[in-house]
Structure 1
Amino acid sequence: MIQVEIKKPRRRVADVSILGTTQLHLRNPYVIAWWSATVPGFGHLLLSKYLRGYVLILWEMIINTQAKINLSMVYAFTGRFEMSKDALDLRWMLLYAPVYIFAIYDSYRTTVDLNKTYILAEREKAEYTTFKIGPLEINYLDKRTPWVSVIWSFLMPGMGQLYIHRIATAFYVLSVWILICYQSHVLEAIHYTLMGDFTKATTVAKAEWLLFMPSIYFFAIYDAYTNTVENNKLFDKEQAQFLKSRYQMQNAKKMLKEMRG
């Protein structure tokens, strides 16, 4: 008797856990590399390489502030070039460049590889969990509105990720945002601005920390929107695959029997 070995799929396009939904999908390598250029680690978060992304973002904030890179950029943007050169700390600056370039290169290379892996995984059509329940959380595939993610991210970075159940990324982005707001004194500057005390507002604000804000703010919006769209696609794809496997063959067999009968 010949035994047929059933091979397990080598790749899956998605994984649903209590911390979030991780999936493979096609991405533009240049877009990912660009986000890594804005802040090292952002590109890796978009690729769902969370540990590497978290470490690189933390590294960027520590080395950047120690090397006074943002402060030097502020001086350069305002035409104070001598102060820009004097502000830089070369001991930390020389540590910054290699990792910065690596983050861009690695995110681009990884995107190309994951795109290939996604195509192979799509051909295998391996099943994946769509519902996960644990003592602390419940996660499941469903459809959500992308623009709602944008609105929540607009109000507070990290809330859009929380809306689509990207728990770890949501709290990490939120923590980074709170740290930047505190260190930059941006809320105090806004308060003094509303009171009409513009001199006090410009004095209290820390420009080197303020430069981090646009990147993290718009990244949170972009990440929440794109992942909401891709999660909706994943939901539709899984639903179609389930209906085909459950009903299509049965209907075909029934129709054949009716034709023969």
Structure 2
Amino acid sequence: MNGKAKNRNNRRSLAHMSTLNVNILHFRKPWVTAWWSAAFPGFGHLLLGNHFKGAILIVWEVLINMQSHINGAMVLSIHGKYKQAALIINPRWVLLYIAVYIYAIWDSYRTTIEQNKVFTLAERENAPIIRFQMNSLAVQYLDLRSPWLAMVWSLLMPGLGQMYLHRIPTGFLLLIGWIVMAINSNFMECLLLTIESWGRIHSPMDPQWSLFMPSIYGFAAFDAYVYAVENNKLFEKAQRQWLEEEYQTLGFSIKSGAGG
């Protein structure tokens, strides 16, 4: 069977490359994606490469949470102010929140199990991996990336680690999300004032916005590190495929000339 016929008959591949993103199939632990969906609905789906569904769930989480005042009620409850928490929470929006929140956790867990099965089949099928894409807007190619460097960039500013890995949709979503949260929560003002006069915060943070930030910050670092590791595995596999296709066989022999 020639190469073209083989490419046409491949049912599953380990990766899909475009000029803006590389989506990689790899083995994941279902409880990890479910945990990230519980921390912030949509993050589990971003880990699975389902960017569109993940973005919808992230926008839903922010809008419904803001309308129902769940974050503010959580902070008041932690401080023992249960009556105040009951007063600020909006039950109509909370009832809309519950079903989708549970769905995000369940669906990410279920999808992880199914994708692990697809990954096993794709590994056995060993479809050719595309190594290079280019158009008028961007150049995309597989190469080795440092997982620690990707994580450090995400710790400095969520989204930059994904940009370093050339995952533009996820990087853009995290970067914009972090900027919106930081501005609306007064995080930057509090950080500067705390550094200037330790222990004296003149402009308190808004808990309704600030409780989103730990999840975004942690997810950005985790996702960048894991993806860099899997990107390097994919690069090495692509190199092996190329050598198997192009390198001469062990049975190749050089025949001596007539005068030898």
The TM-score with structure 1 as length reference comes to 0.92
Query: 2:224 corresponds to which residue?
Result: 224
Structure 1 SS opposite 2:112: helix
Q: Does 1:72 pair with 2:73?
A: yes
Q: Given that residues 142 and 235 in structure 2 are in contact (C-alpha distance below 8 angstroms), is that contact kept between their aligned partners in structure 1?
A: yes
Structure 2 SS opposite 1:242: helix
More helix per residue: 1
Instruction: Write the mapping of 1:187-202 to structure 2, written as runs, cut at 5 A.
Output: 187-196=188-197, 198-202=200-204
Any stretches of 5+ residues in structure 2 without a counterpart? Answer: none
Query: 2:141 corresponds to which residue?
Result: 140
Any stretches of 5+ residues in structure 1 without a counterpart? Answer: none
Q: Given that residues 193 and 201 in structure 1 are in contact (C-alpha distance below 8 angstroms), is that contact kept between their aligned partners in structure 2?
A: no
Q: Given that residues 63 and 92 in structure 1 are in contact (C-alpha distance below 8 angstroms), is that contact kept between their aligned partners in structure 2?
A: yes
Instruction: Write the mapping of 1:1-261 to structure 2, written as runs, cut at 5 A.
Output: 8-196=9-197, 198-202=200-204, 205-247=205-247, 250-254=248-252
**C-alpha separation in 2, matches of 1:58 and 1:240:** 41
TM-superposition CA deviations, 1:69-110 (whole Å, max 9, x none): 000000011111111111210110000000000000000000
| Number of residue pairs the alignment of both structures matches | 250
Deviation at 1:206, TM superposition (A): 0.5
Q: Given that residues 130 and 140 in structure 1 are in contact (C-alpha distance below 8 angstroms), is that contact kept between their aligned partners in structure 2?
A: yes
Q: Please identify runs of 4+ aligned residues in structure 1 that moved more than 4 A.
A: 255-258
Aligned AA (1:240): R
Aligned AA (2:185): S
TM-superposition CA deviations, 1:228-250 (whole Å, max 9, x none): 00000000011011111221xx3
TM-superposition CA deviations, 1:31-61 (whole Å, max 9, x none): 0000000000000000000000001001000
Aligned AA (2:141): Y
Aligned AA (1:8): N
Percent pairwise identity = 46
Deviation at 1:199, TM superposition (A): 4.9
Q: Given that residues 150 and 221 in structure 1 are in contact (C-alpha distance below 8 angstroms), is that contact kept between their aligned partners in structure 2?
A: yes
Structure 1 SS opposite 2:11: coil
Aligned AA (2:112): T
- Taking only aligned residues, the RMSD between alpha carbons, in angstroms, comes to 1.7
Structure 2 SS opposite 1:232: helix
TM-superposition CA deviations, 1:119-171 (whole Å, max 9, x none): 11111111131100010100100001110011101110000000010011111
Deviation at 1:188, TM superposition (A): 1.5
Structure 1 SS opposite 2:143: coil
Aligned AA (1:139): Q
**C-alpha separation in 1, matches of 2:178 and 2:207:** 15
**C-alpha separation in 2, matches of 1:233 and 1:143:** 9
**C-alpha separation in 2, matches of 1:25 and 1:60:** 27
Q: Given that residues 42 and 53 in structure 2 are in contact (C-alpha distance below 8 angstroms), is that contact kept between their aligned partners in structure 1?
A: yes
Q: Given that residues 190 and 201 in structure 1 are in contact (C-alpha distance below 8 angstroms), is that contact kept between their aligned partners in structure 2?
A: no
**C-alpha separation in 1, matches of 2:196 and 2:81:** 29
Q: Given that residues 186 and 203 in structure 2 are in contact (C-alpha distance below 8 angstroms), is that contact kept between their aligned partners in structure 1?
A: no
Structure 2 SS opposite 1:44: helix
Deviation at 1:192, TM superposition (A): 2.8
1:82/1:256 CA distance change after superposition, 3 Å: farther
